[in-house]
Structure 1
Amino acid sequence: MAKHKYHEDEEDTGPSKSALKRESTALQDLGRELAELGKERLARVPIDDDLRDAVKDYQRFTAHEARRRQLQYIGKLMRNVDPAPIRAALDAFKGVSATETAKMHRLENLRLRLLEDEKTLHTIAETYPGADLQQLRVLRRNALKEKEQNRPPRAFRELFRVLRELEDGGVDDEADNIESGDEE
């Protein structure tokens, strides 16, 4: 009888200490990933102000022990937030998510089509009305020259960066148009 009672008590205890420790360590590791982000990316992660301040403090600290304690504090704060949106944002930054991967493939294909045929600029102009077609033409021409002369692919990469900015959308393009004075 006593043996049976022992099993009943064991079932009611919930997660083991080891499981709680693993969960706590995972949250602390997620906090470390947050702490290693740059300012721009950190601003795009959906976290509350207390956690954001703690991460900024961690980035400011230089002493090993201070950073270690701050990471523990970040892990403690992470217990009160839903980690799923944070993980999704970090995965998107790393290009891990399926939509991010598909977007990169789509942009790579667009860049290759543009290099093969200048008429692709018409498609880009229709898809992205704010696109600077002159800049794209120059980058295309420079990328082709680089390939021909076996030089490092600077324009090739810049072309991808410009296409990615167009894909990411409106806010950046409108700001660029306002700064350069050629709003359409």
Structure 2
Amino acid sequence: MMNIVGDSEHFKQPFDHDDDYVSRADIKREIAIYQELGKKLVSLSKSQLKKLELDELLHDNILKAKTIRINSEAHRRQLHYVGKLMRSVDIDELQENLKNVLNQNRNESSKQNVAEKQKDHLLTGGDEAIQTLLEQHPGLERQKLRQLVRQANKELAKQPETASKSAAELVKYLRAETGE
């Protein structure tokens, strides 16, 4: 059995007296969170970044990171710098804004899918489908719908493998007028 002789103060650790002490491991975990969030921001499109309303320095450095070749040392350093700049940002607010921006994109794509399905239904259903749609959305113009459907069917009959301009115009019209 070994007896330790000495002053008990000698064996104290820095965190024994300080309630505000943060360990190096905690600091590294926090830095890793900023790094991951920085990577997510770099992967966003420019329009999505604008919606986040980041401060100018952070925004510019994220755009700069997008131009640097991925998997290079310069890209890694730029990501670390973006992570460092993010320490001055309210991370909870930024994560909430990021969720909203990403969710808006999902909503946009689902609206596009609804309009595409309506277009397909109109192209196959003819006047009956147009009448049904007009009952659901009375603000639509019957003449314009019939004209777009007729043109799209003609274009698809001539060249079924290519995308129809009129069909795309029909989808655009449906999205604009129905709000879907």
**Fold conserved between structures, TM > 0.5:** yes
Corresponding residue to 1:23 among 11, 18, 30: 30
Kindly report the root-mean-square deviation, in angstroms, between the aligned alpha carbons of the 2 structures. 4.7
Aligned residue for 1:36?
A: 43
Partner-residue secondary structure (3-state), 1:62: coil
Corresponding residue to 1:118 among 127, 130, 136: 130
User: For 1:87-146, what per-residue CA distance to the aligned partner results, in whole angstroms no more than 9, with x for missing partners?
Assistant: 33433454xx4x7767765664565456543232565563xx8x9x84796379848x97
Aligned residue for 1:175?
A: none
User: For 1:30-76, what per-residue CA distance to the aligned partner results, in whole angstroms no more than 9, with x for missing partners?
Assistant: 11111122222222222100101111221222371111111111001
Q: Distance in 1 between matches of 2:146 and 2:33?
A: 44
1:111 and 1:159 in contact (8 A); partners too: no
Q: Distance in 2 between matches of 1:10 and 1:93?
A: 44
Identical pairs, percent: 24
Q: Distance in 1 between matches of 2:148 and 2:64?
A: 44
Alignment of 1:17-166 (within 5 A): 17-62=24-69, 64-94=72-102, 97=103, 108-109=113-114, 112=117, 115-116=120-121, 117-119=129-131, 120-121=133-134, 123-124=136-137, 126=139, 134=144, 138=148, 142=152, 158=168, 162=172, 166=176
Partner-residue secondary structure (3-state), 1:79: helix
Equivalent residue pairs, number: 156
Aligned residue for 2:5?
A: none
Shift of 1:17: 3.0
Change (3 A) 1:18 1:108: same
What letter is aligned with 2:68? F
Shift of 1:11: 7.5
Aligned residue for 2:4?
A: none
Q: Distance in 1 between matches of 2:40 and 2:51?
A: 14
Q: Distance in 2 between matches of 1:102 and 1:15?
A: 41
Q: Distance in 2 between matches of 1:36 and 1:124?
A: 38
Q: Distance in 1 between matches of 2:81 and 2:109?
A: 36
Q: Distance in 2 between matches of 1:20 and 1:164?
A: 52
Q: Distance in 2 between matches of 1:85 and 1:140?
A: 50
Structure 1: runs of 5+ lacking an equivalent? 170-184
Partner-residue secondary structure (3-state), 1:47: coil
